């Protein structure tokens, strides 16, 4: 059974056990993988679309999804970074 979405360019990636984020259809990547450089101000939507060979419409949809779900996506990516030892854990002694 697969979950249905109303998105044209996004789909569930149930095999990615570490995340609840949707992924880009036809790609082995989740939303954060695509939007990270845009959100951090390093690259433009147009550059990402060109480099990943996606329509700008697809990148806009991914960004819309990210901003609509930013709080939990940020929390999830922060936790994953801590789990992998890539982020400092303030509660360590």
DSSP letter assigned to residue 91: T
Bridge pairing between strands 23-24 and 10-11: antiparallel
Structure confidence at residue 85 as a pLDDT band (50, 70, 90)? confident
**pLDDT digit string (tens) for 8-31?**
999 999 898 888 999 999 999 999
Sketch the domain layout of the chain as residue ranges.
Answer: 10-82
Residue 31 contacts residue 38 (beta carbons within 8 Å): no
């Amino acid at each position: 059974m697969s979950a249905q979405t109303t998105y044209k360019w996004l789909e569930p990636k149930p095999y990615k056990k570490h995340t609840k984020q949707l992924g880009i259809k036809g790609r082995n990547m989740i939303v954060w993988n695509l939007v990270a450089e845009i959100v951090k101000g390093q690259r433009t939507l147009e550059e990402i679309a060109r480099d990943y060979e996606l329509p700008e419409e697809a990148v806009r949809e991914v960004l819309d999804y990210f901003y609509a779900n930013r709080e939990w996506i940020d929390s999830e990516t922060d936790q994953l970074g801590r789990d992998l030892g890539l982020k400092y854990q303030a509660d360590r002694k």
